[in-house]
Amino acid sequence: MIFKFGIIFGLFLVHNVFADIVDTKQWKSKTPKSKDDLLNIQHRLQELLSESKKALVSIETSDGVGSGVIISEDGLVLTAAHVIGKTGQKINIRLINGKRIPAISLGGSEISDAGMVQITKKGKWPYSSIASMNKSSPGDWCFAIGHPGGFDKDRGVVVRLGRIISKTEDTIQSDSRLLGGDSGGPLFDFDGNVIAIHSRVSKEPDQNFHVPIECYHINWDFYKEKEILTFEKLQTKGFLGVACEKTKLGLQITNIVKGSAADNIGLKKNDILISLDGEILDSREELTILISSKQPDELVSLEYNRNDSQISIKVPLGARPEK
């Protein structure tokens, strides 16, 4: 078998020299073309699986059980916001050998459903590396691991293969199927890096949603240091009144809530938001997080682009309208 792989790989490389294609790995090609391609995908998955499993944890809170992944030697765990619920909760995490370790919930955000947990016991923990920004895109092969239905030592970690179906700034959709208990577990790419965290599903087998790792990168300090941002909390905080979308140009306004602070100050559809109180805006979640740290009536400085000219204004925030 090993011999066979060698030959295939060799042939593929030669082919690439002629074709001048950058991707050299079969699992990176859009769709497998032959049985050998399939074997390569399988081989790569199995190669990554044993390592990836080691950093997987089961998270036990007073409300239920989810999954998570350790991403640093000192025990920082990425999970989903809805798994931890609130900041500062004492929780147990379980390694794949079943051993329980004390931990504490940090923060996160219900907007993207990202969350963080810190193991409180000193030690050198097995961990997975995370992908950097913008490393994953639709069509990539991926695999989900987790504890669907809860920890089960006999069954072990459950793996599901799939491909990324779509990606937006706050959601990755894949056909790696998920179930309750998987929430908070990692989605890996075929380089063995965490590209997303399992979040939610709906009925169709294709409809599995994950929090992109980009959300963590953009809001790292907020998730780690501050209280979890809940929808409930949002209701009482400052409100700007824009809906926006990440485009190539930046954070572009797609809608303005009538009578809101944004409306009053004259922000318009298609304006590109650049920064808030000097903080460059990388995603709409970041914008919401920044605004929610302010009270209604508080003044913020906003920079935006309209028709290629940059405008700086002071905006008095409003209150969020009742639903």
Contacting other proteins within 215-274 (CB under 8 A) = 231, 234-235, 239, 241-245, 254-255, 257
Residue with Cβ nearer other proteins (75 or 187): 187
Residue with Cβ nearer other proteins (70 or 284): 284
**From residue 135 to residue 154, what is the string marking binding to other proteins with x (rule CB under 8 A)?**
---xx--------xxx---x
Element (H, E) at 122: none
Q: Which two tokens stand for residue 129?
A: 């590396």
Distance of closest approach, residue 156 Cβ to other proteins, in angstroms: 4
Residue with Cβ nearer other proteins (33 or 100): 33
Asked if 98 touches other proteins (CB under 8 A), the answer is: no
Residue with Cβ nearer other proteins (213 or 287): 287
Instruction: Give the integer Cα–Cα distance in Å for 34 and 39.
Output: 9
Task: Say how many residues make up the chain.
Answer: 323
* Paired residues of 312 in beta bridges: 303
Residue with Cβ nearer other proteins (102 or 138): 138
Site for other proteins in 287-316 (CB under 8 A): 288
- Residue (of 184, 290, 280) closest to 229 by Cα position: 290
Instruction: Tell me the C-alpha to C-alpha distance, in Å, between residue 281 and each of 130, 141, 297.
Output: 22, 30, 21
Distance of closest approach, residue 46 Cβ to other proteins, in angstroms: 4
What is the separation, in whole angstroms, between the first and last Cα of the chain? Answer: 62
Residue from 55, 56, 57, 65 in contact with other proteins (CB under 8 A):
65
Eight-state DSSP code of residue 27: G
Distance of closest approach, residue 3 Cβ to other proteins, in angstroms: 18
Distance of closest approach, residue 288 Cβ to other proteins, in angstroms: 7
Site for other proteins in 152-211 (CB under 8 A): 154-168, 171, 173, 175-183, 199-203, 205-206, 209
Residue 321, number of CB atoms within 10 A of its CB: 12
Distance of closest approach, residue 36 Cβ to other proteins, in angstroms: 10
Distance of closest approach, residue 206 Cβ to other proteins, in angstroms: 7
Q: Amino acid identity of 277?
A: D
Residues 6+ apart with CB under 8 A from 311: 303, 304, 305
Site for other proteins in 27-56 (CB under 8 A): 30-35, 37-39, 42, 45-46, 49
Distance of closest approach, residue 66 Cβ to other proteins, in angstroms: 7
Residue with Cβ nearer other proteins (8 or 39): 39
- Residue (of 113, 121, 144, 69) closest to 223 by Cα position: 113
- Residue (of 129, 139, 149, 246) closest to 192 by Cα position: 129
Residue with Cβ nearer other proteins (99 or 258): 258
Backbone angles phi, psi at 36, to 5 degrees: -65, -40
Instruction: Give the integer Cα–Cα distance in Å for 114 and 170.
Output: 10
Residue with Cβ nearer other proteins (177 or 294): 177
Query: Are the C-beta atoms of residues 79 and 67 closer than 8 Å to each other?
Result: yes
Distance of closest approach, residue 316 Cβ to other proteins, in angstroms: 17
Q: Amino acid identity of 198?
A: H
Residue with Cβ nearer other proteins (93 or 242): 242
Site for other proteins in 70-89 (CB under 8 A): 82-83
